[in-house]
Amino acid sequence: EATKLLSTSTNDFTAVLKSSQHRGKWGEQTLRNVVESAGMSSFCDYSEQSTQDDSRPDLIVKLPHNNCVIIDSKVPEFDVALVNHTAPNRKELVDDHAKKLLRTIKDLAARNYTQMKHNNMQPFNKVILFLPAESLLSTALEGDNELILKANNEGVLIATPATLMGFLSAISLTWKQHQQSENAAKIAKEAMELYNRVVTLTEHIAKVRNGLHSTVENLNKAVGSYETRIRPQAETLRKLGIAGEKLESIPEANPDVRRIEGTPE
C-alpha cells in the first residue's frame, strides 16, 4: 500500500496538471496520503485553504520541545509534452520546467515561514517544498542539476513522496523516543512520590506501635494492681463468708509489638 502511494504514473499526473486548482488539490491530497502512511497524522496540523490565501503553509509537523517543520505542497506548471522523451523541443521544455520550479522555490522562500512562530512552535530553519511526483523533480534536474543546492541556499529543501516518507518516519521515531523519555521521567517522579508516602506511613506505624506499647504497659500495671491488691482482698472477704464468685486471675498482656526495621524505638 505504501509503495502504491509513493509511485505516481505519468498518465496520472499529466491528467491533473492542466489546471492550477487540480494541481493544488493533487499535491495536498498526496501530502496527506504520505503523512498518514508514515503514521504521523496525530503530529501534524493541516491548513485547509479553500481560498488562494497563502499566509499559512499546507502542513506543520510538530517536533518535540515545542519545535516544528513547515511543509508546503507545490506543483509547478508542467507541459505534458515533457512526457514524450523524443519530442524535438524537449530540452527547451525541460529547461523551462527547471526555471518554473526555481521560481516556485524562490516564491516559497519569500514567504518567510521559518521566521514566524506557528501555534507558539519554533520552526526549523528550512522549509520543505513537497512535490507530489518524483518526475516533477527528476525532470527539473535534467534542466538544472544544481537545483537542489540552489533551493538549499534559499532555505528550501525539496521532498518527493519517497524522501518525505523517510523524513516523516525518522520524526515518528524521534517522537517515540521522546515519549519513552517522558514516561521514564514520570515513572521516576511517581516512584519518588510513592517512596515518600511509604516513609510517612512507617512514621505513622511507629507512632501507633509506641502508642500500643504504652497502652500495654498501662494495662499490665492495672492487671498488677488487680492481682496484688484487689484480688487477694476479695478472696479474704469471700473466706470470711461474704457470698460471691471467686475472682479469676487476669494474665498480663504481651508487651512485645513488632517494630518496622529502621523506625525509632
Q: Which of 136, 151, 178 is the last residue of a domain?
A: 178
26-30, 48-52, 101-105, 223-227: least confidently modelled range: 48-52
pLDDT at 14 over 70: no
C-alpha cell at 176: 517515540
* Structural domain that includes position 207: 189-265
**Same domain membership, residue 171 and residue 77:** yes
**Same domain membership, residue 133 and residue 92:** yes
**Same domain membership, residue 131 and residue 17:** yes
**Same domain membership, residue 71 and residue 90:** yes
Tell me, what's the pLDDT at 51?
40
| DSSP state at residue 133 | S
**Same domain membership, residue 132 and residue 26:** yes
Tell me, what's the pLDDT at 50?
38
Is 163 domain-assigned? yes
For β-strands 122-130 and 67-73, DSSP reports them as: parallel
DSSP character string of 146-179 = THHHHHHHTTEEEE-HHHHHHHHHHHHHHHHHHH
Tell me, what's the pLDDT at 150?
95
Q: Which of 178, 212, 233 is the last residue of a domain?
A: 178
**Same domain membership, residue 200 and residue 161:** no
Q: What is the mean pLDDT of residues 189-204?
A: 84
**Same domain membership, residue 98 and residue 225:** no
Instruction: With beta carbons less than 8 A apart as the criterion, state whether 248 and 190 touch.
Output: no
**Same domain membership, residue 165 and residue 138:** yes
- Count: domains in the chain: 2
